[in-house]
């Protein structure tokens, strides 16, 4: 992918032909529904709201103290991911950072890699990133549970999200995000998350969204993305040429996946 400077990153976000975005959206919706069906018999997915029915602005974003992270310190879980990223990046790496917060990750890594593209729900975080004028760093507003993700161009060596389930509204929109992440990874590309963010649920949301290793392993099994514990707290999921929902596969064949 060709994000080599901040302008290019921004252009790439908005310049994908709309028919391609529509096709991509339809495929991701279909795969998200398949993933949802596969998860339906497993706890805690069976206890969560399956589909909130929202066509716009999915996700939970009603708790003011967790909305804008411009003046808050980087969380320990993001720092744990950053420590591992140090060993994984090369000068040609392209990184997608979902939930940029105070842009500390962009400041630390963007000058040393080909590009860091960041996303945020809140314009304050995008404006902070722009004011910093960081080389190879572009932040776009995109709701990760929504079709906004379909307008992100290119594929990445790394997708990082330390709060994938924290703000989830329903299993469908969570699955939609997981399918988008898979699609946005290059072959051999890696999705990284970390505890405690993977287990942290925003106040007011269903506590069943608090996930651990078993849920990570189950998702990796169904998506055919090998998982590993990079450290005790940092988890990875790697895209391979075989990754993606197996459209022929029965839900019953993955019954052991949760017992990792």
Ligand X SMILES: C[S@@+](CC[C@H](N)C(=O)[O-])C[C@H]1O[C@@H](n2cnc3c(N)ncnc32)[C@H](O)[C@@H]1O
Reported as type and span, the H/E element at residue 35 is helix 18-39
Give the largest CA-CA distance in the chain.
51
Q: Considering the complex, state which of residue 120 and residue 205 has its C-beta at the smaller distance from Zn ion.
A: 205
DSSP category for residue 230 = S
Least CB distance to ligand X at residue 212 (A): 18
| Residue 6 in the binding site for ligand X (CB under 6 A) | no
Which of 69, 137, 172, 174 binds ligand X (CB under 6 A)? It is: 69
**How many C-beta atoms lie closer than 10 Å to residue 217's C-beta?**
20
Is 171 among the residues that bind Zn ion (CB under 5 A)?
Answer: no
Between CA 244 and CA 8, with CA 27 as vertex, the angle to 5 degrees is 90
Task: Give 189's contacts (C-beta < 8 A, 6+ positions apart).
Answer: 155, 156, 157, 158, 159, 238, 239
- Number of continuous H segments (helices) and E segments (strands) in the chain: 7, 7
| 99 binds ligand X, rule: CB under 6 A | yes
The backbone region for 256, taken as left when phi is positive above 0, alpha when psi lies in -120 to 50, beta otherwise, is alpha
* Residue of 3, 28, 101, 191 interacting with ligand X (CB under 6 A): 101
Among 25, 37, 52, 68, binds Zn ion (CB under 5 A): 52
Shortest gap between Cβ of 249 and ligand X (angstroms)? 29
Does 164 sit near Zn ion (CB under 5 A)?
Answer: no
Verify binding: residue 251, Zn ion, rule CB under 5 A.
no
Helix (H) or strand (E) holding 77: helix 76-88
At its nearest, how many Å lie between ligand X and the CB of residue 55?
15
The answer to whether the Cα torsion of 103, 127, 149, 153 is positive or negative is negative
CB of 208 to Zn ion, least distance (A): 14
The answer to whether residues 3 and 94 touch, using CB atoms and an 8 Å cutoff, is yes
- State the nearest-atom distance from the C-beta of 54 to ligand X, in Å: 11
Binding mask of the shown chain, residues 57 to 96, with x at each position contacting Zn ion by CB under 5 A = -x--------------------------------------
122 binds, among ligand X, Zn ion, none (CB under 5 to 8 A by kind): ligand X
In the range 162-201, which residues lie near ligand X by CB under 6 A? 162-163, 167
Burial of 112 (0-12, 13-18, 19+ CB in 10 A): middle
- Measured in degrees and rounded to the nearest 5, phi and psi for residue 241 equal -60, -25
CB 217 within 8 A of CB 227: yes
Residue 163 contact, options Zn ion, ligand X, none, Cβ 5-8 Å cut-off depending on partner type? ligand X
Q: Which stretch binds Zn ion (CB under 5 A): 31-39, 153-161, 165-173, 221-229?
A: 165-173
* Chain residues in the site for ligand X (CB under 6 A): 59, 61, 66, 69, 74-75, 78, 98-101, 119-122, 125, 143-145, 162-163, 167
């Amino acid at each position: 992918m060709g994000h080599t400077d901040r302008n290019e990153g921004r252009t790439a976000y908005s310049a994908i032909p709309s028919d391609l975005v529509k096709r991509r959206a339809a495929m991701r919706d279909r795969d998200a529904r398949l993933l949802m069906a596969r998860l339906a018999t497993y706890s805690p997915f069976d206890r969560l709201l399956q589909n909130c029915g929202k066509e716009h602005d999915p996700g939970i974003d009603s708790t003011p103290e967790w909305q804008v992270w411009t003046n808050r310190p980087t969380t320990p879980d993001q720092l744990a991911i950053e420590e591992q990223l140090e060993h994984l990046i090369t000068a040609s790496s392209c990184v997608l950072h979902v939930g940029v917060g105070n842009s500390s990750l962009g400041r630390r890594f963007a000058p040393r890699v080909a590009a860091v593209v960041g996303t945020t729900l809140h314009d304050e975080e995008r404006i902070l990133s722009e004011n910093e004028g960081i080389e190879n760093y572009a932040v776009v507003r995109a709701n990760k549970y929504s079709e906004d993700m379909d307008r992100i161009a290119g594929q990445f060596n790394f997708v990082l999200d330390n709060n994938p389930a924290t703000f989830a509204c329903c299993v469908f929109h969570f699955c939609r995000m997981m399918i988008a992440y898979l699609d946005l990874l290059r072959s051999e590309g890696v999705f990284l998350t970390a505890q405690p963010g993977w287990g942290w649920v925003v106040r007011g949301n269903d506590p069943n969204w608090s996930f651990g290793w078993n849920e990570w392993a189950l998702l990796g099994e169904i998506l055919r993305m090998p998982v590993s514990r990079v450290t005790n707290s940092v988890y990875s999921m790697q895209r391979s040429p075989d990754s993606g929902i197996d459209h022929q596969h029965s839900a019953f064949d993955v019954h052991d996946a949760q017992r990792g």
